[in-house]
Amino acid sequence: MNILSDLNPQQQQAVTAGTGPILVLAGPGSGKTRVLTHRIAYVVENLGVRPFHILAVTFTNKAAREMESRVEKLLDQKLKGMWLGTFHAICARLLRREADHLPFDSNFVIFDTDDQVALVKRAIKDLNLDEKNYRPNAVHGAISTAKNNLILPGDYQTRSYRDEVIARIYNRYQQLLLANNGVDFDDLLLWAFRLLEENPELREAYARRFEYVLVDEFQDTNMVQYELLRHLSSYHQNIFVVGDEDQSIYRWRGADYRNVMRFEEDYPKAQKILLEQNYRSTQTVLDAAVSVIGRNTHRTPKRLRSIPELGKGDKITVYEAVDDHAEALYVVETIQQLIDSGRFQGGDFAVMYRTNAQSRLVEEAFLHAGMPYRLVGAQRFYGRREVKDMIAYLRLIMNPADEVSLNRVINVPPRGIGDRTILYLQQAAQEANISAGEVLMDLGYKGKDSAYWGAFSRGANLLAEFGSLLADWHDQADIMPLPELFDRILEDTLYYEYINDGTEEGMGRWENVQELRRLAFEFEDRGLSSFLENLALVSDQDTVPEEAEAPTLLTMHAAKGLEFPVVFIVGLDDGLMPHNRALDDPEEMEEERRLFYVGLTRAKKRLYLVRAEQRSLYGTYQESIPSRFLEDIPDELVQANVRSRRRSGGFSARWDRKAEWGETHALRTYRTPPPAASAPIIQQRYRPSMRVMHQTWGEGMVIDSRIQDGDETVDVMFESVGFKRLVASLANLEIIQKEK
């Protein structure tokens, strides 16, 4: 078939671009996956390059599977020898192949987030530190950030005593990982980089092999990923990256949109190609999105064009509810009306929000209406207790040195092994300089003849019984099909009797175990190691239903890469969207604007932007301020449909955006109706360290105050409810003590 026949001129330019570095800036819905797949097919078919010499990197397993399927269909052949997968999957493959150069064995396990935090806790305990002063999650975040920036424990910057302590925890954490023959997600990248950085011959061998390197979602790469790509493409320099700095929304986990600019700096002769033809959204949606993102400074301007079939489309509906409960009710009622009209089905809808916590009221509204929905980003399947138990058993079988997994299942289901016995087991392992799992297996193999039997005053029999099971599973793992091994564990541990207590919840837990078992059948021919690696590397987006038959509830972060005929974005208030932490941080504000842009461009036909005049907090209602991003959308694109609560309890009919918001883009006040004295405030009344009294929240202290949009915005720390940002003319704060 003609590989270029179904491509537009810009896509053809990208696919047929010659050799050397190529940067493709692809707007939302512009067919970047199509360009990548056709580029691979073109390189194989037209340039005569064997798949063995191609490396293609994606950010989700789902995207990798889709890309492989599309290319094979285009070429009508299997991609034998091609490396295609996520950064983490490719790095895991590299590390297992080259484990001789590394301080851990090729059968290393990949610790998930919970396991990583548990290991941080262990490191804190080993160093006799207090978890209250060094919170494990915060320390884990600092370690992750360091790794993503190529900072090793010995290079950790210590500007304060706290930094020095974190450096020590980081060092101990890495020691524990190695002792467990394990790595975390960040290690997969960091060790791969070090492997190539410190072994020039090995680096050249891989760089020579990969004649063409292709990268999806380039804007989401971090520093270590960027450097890995430089190493792997260093010989041929045929690196083809596709991305869009406007859709970079993962700064919080290390992604750096500036890598797009670095690419242009590091490869000054790189070809730069824009994809601006959008195949997803109406022109109205695109114009609104461009108006919002256009206020960001560090970007390449793009003119997004819809296809004629989609046309101009419906105007955007902006709705203001009386409060957050009414906001959720409006969404559900509108969805029901659109379904009843016969123009849409349940799976056509998405309800998006800034944070997971915002889903609760929306969920309640769906439940009260008796309408089914799908929730993305709640407790993940792989995070459920029973699923983690079975995964821990399998990890321990593959790698008996995995102390984290051992600690999880050594007494699950309960087999009488107490904390003191576990402590003795750990001590015996330390004295023998082997893992606790190996001590267990020795007890299992030899019983009373084991050299370690005498280390236990009691409990040796119980340990030997479990050790015998573990040793048997371990011996059978290489010859027994994975589903049979799975069933063997269930049978030997009586896990069904343990997990299913006869209740509906118990049956649900057992169904989750069975679902994991069904997945094991898919890896029957690939073995335990591949199965566990797949589980460890699965992402949230990989769990999003392919075809939902009900409205989907999800965060805007989780919506990346998805599309829906009808999109509702709720919670469009300053402090929620953009998030409160971005209000005084220009970099964070640009990130929030990009996130909103991603949310807008998920909509294909209709877009609803929803907010609440008041939101409940700690049992009381607080006035909210419309998101400044709404003001960026031109009036001609908006169909205003706003209800606004008045003091009298009635509702206004229409919404005059300019009149009520003002002309600026700073933090705005929103008054319905305007106060009687509407003259602008030009002098600050409140100053830091003042003590003030609020009629609802009681006494508090002023943290900051500023004049914005003709009013005074006051930040107050209340003793009863904590931090509040208030509009002075509405809050009626009484000064009870001047600043100190």
Q: State phi, psi for 305 to the nearest 5 degrees.
A: -120, 130
Sheet with 691-694, strands from edge to edge, namely 722-727, 711-718, 698-708, 691-694, 734-737
Q: Are 200 and 173 in contact (CB under 8 A)?
A: no
Contact 393, 380 (CB under 8 A): no
In this structure, is the dihedral angle defined by the CA atoms of residues 400, 402, 407 and 408, taken in order, positive or negative? negative
How many of the other CB atoms lie within 10 Å of CB of 441? Answer: 24
Q: What φ, ψ does residue 725 adopt, rounded to 5°?
A: -110, 120
**Alpha helices, DSSP H only, in 433-478?**
436-446, 460-476
Decide: 34 and 284 in contact? Cβ < 8 Å: no
DSSP-derived 3-state class of residue 394: helix
- 215 close to 242: Cβ distance less than 8 angstroms: yes
For residue 705, give the nearest of 736, 739, 679, 680 by alpha carbon. Answer: 739
| Residues annotated as part of the active site | 32-33, 216-217, 247, 602
Burial class of residue 587 (count of CB atoms within 10 Å of its CB; 0-12, 13-18, 19+): exposed
Q: How far apart are alpha carbons 573 and 593 in whole angstroms?
A: 13
Angle between helices 185-198 and 87-97 (to 10 degrees): 50
CB atoms within 10 A of CB 496: 15
Pair of tokens at residue 437: 């799992």
Dihedral Cα 492, 495, 497, 501, nearest 10 deg? 180
Q: Is omega for the bond preceding 308 within 30 degrees of 0, making it cis? A: no
> Per DSSP, what are the bridge partners of residue 715?
704, 725
Side chain identity at residue 347, one-letter code: G
Contact 596, 629 (CB under 8 A): yes
Q: d(Cα 424, Cα 410) in Å, to the nearest integer?
A: 13
For 153, the 3-state DSSP assignment is helix
CA 158 to chain centre: 29
610 Cβ partners below 8 Å, 6+ apart?
318, 319, 320, 321, 327, 330, 331, 568, 569, 570, 571, 572
| Radius of gyration of the chain, Cα coordinates, nearest whole angstrom | 29
For the record, the structure tokens of 595 come out as 């996130």
- For the record, the structure tokens of 158 come out as 């210590």
Q: How far is CA 103 from the centre of its chain?
A: 29
User: Strand 212-215 vs strand 239-243: parallel, antiparallel, or unpaired?
Assistant: parallel
Query: Is the distance from CB of 70 to CB of 35 less than 8 angstroms?
Result: no
